[in-house]
Amino acid sequence: MPTPMTWFACLLISLLLAAGTAESQEQSTSEADQLLDSAYENFRSGNTTESRSAADKALALGLEQENTGIVGRALTALCRLALRDNDAARLDELTGRLAELAEDSGDQRWRVYGIHMQAEMARMNKRLDAADDLYVESLELSQEIGLTGMVAAENFNRSFIAVARGDFDAASAQVGNYFRISADSSDGEPGAYGLIALANLLAARDDLVGAAVVNYSTERIFSELNIIPDPADAAPLKAVADRVLRELSEAELSEARALSEGQSVRSLIARYLADAG
């Protein structure tokens, strides 16, 4: 029969092993967080290979640890890359895994992100009705679970559908909702990303000088903030830039450049969003 000292030694060894395991898991989680940060930064900077490598490594760590949060974030990172590649089959696989993760964990964030990514793919490929249905599904589920950032994002995204349908009043309201919700959730500062939607709306209403002002301001502000548009949003931004260059005179372009100097997100909203509605 083991002596009391033997029991104590076994207990001490168990505690040390548990502490070592916890420390190892904490280190792995920290490493995965760093990899996911790197994946996102490289994605935004256009470094696709580096972004995919970091996301794959984070996913492997998350699966090894059975860490739902890491796995979900890594799958979402890989979805963004599938969108950039316009790889529908890969996106179907990844969003299916996100849906399974949501089911298994009870965390519906992962379902929202999967639906959102499918909506983005549909919009990129001009399947507007399907895209809008998916955006609405994502928005409603986001509202239900309190995912405010996604509520703002899906208002932004739906504005492109409304513009394509010629419903400029709906688009103006959706762009306004994006700016309001994003400001409410970030110390009163409206999100600069919404400028893409504002420029798109102005161009659709044939206010090309206004669209040019917002476009030039967006280029400067995005450069300052190191923002690179997501794949589904890069196309409309480029379309506005191409159209104003094609249809405005040199004098009008010069005027737009001058008007864009020193503009902030708030000043652009005040100057152009009310006029767009």
Same-domain check for residues 50 and 116: yes
User: 5-14, 217-226, 233-242: which has the minimum mean pLDDT?
Assistant: 5-14
Same-domain check for residues 135 and 169: no
Same-domain check for residues 165 and 273: yes
Tell me if 79 is assigned to some domain: yes
Same-domain check for residues 110 and 169: no
pLDDT at residue 243 in the model: 98
The CATH number of residue 132's host domain is: 1.25.40.10
Where does a domain end: 146, 171, 200? 146
pLDDT at residue 187 in the model: 79
Where does a domain end: 146, 162, 184? 146
Q: What's the token pair of residue 168?
A: 């400029």
pLDDT tens, 118-139?
999 999 999 999 999 999 999 9
Where does a domain end: 85, 113, 146? 146
Maximum Cα–Cα distance across the chain: 97
Same-domain check for residues 175 and 185: yes
pLDDT tens, 188-215?
899 999 999 999 999 999 999 999 999 9
Instruction: Show the domain range for 74.
Output: 25-146
In terms of phi and psi (left: phi > 0; alpha: psi -120 to 50; beta: otherwise), the region of 126 is left
Same-domain check for residues 230 and 261: yes
Binned at pLDDT 50, 70 and 90, residue 62 comes out as very high
pLDDT tens, 7-48?
656 555 655 665 554 455 566 678 999 999 999 989 887 899
The owner of tokens 């923002």 is 227
pLDDT tens, 70-104?
999 999 999 999 999 999 999 999 999 999 999 99
pLDDT at residue 232 in the model: 79
* Average pLDDT, integer, range 164-187: 94
Number of domains observed in the structure of the chain? 2
Same-domain check for residues 30 and 142: yes
Going by C-alpha positions, the residue among 132, 59, 57 that lies closest to residue 97 is 59
Binned at pLDDT 50, 70 and 90, residue 52 comes out as very high
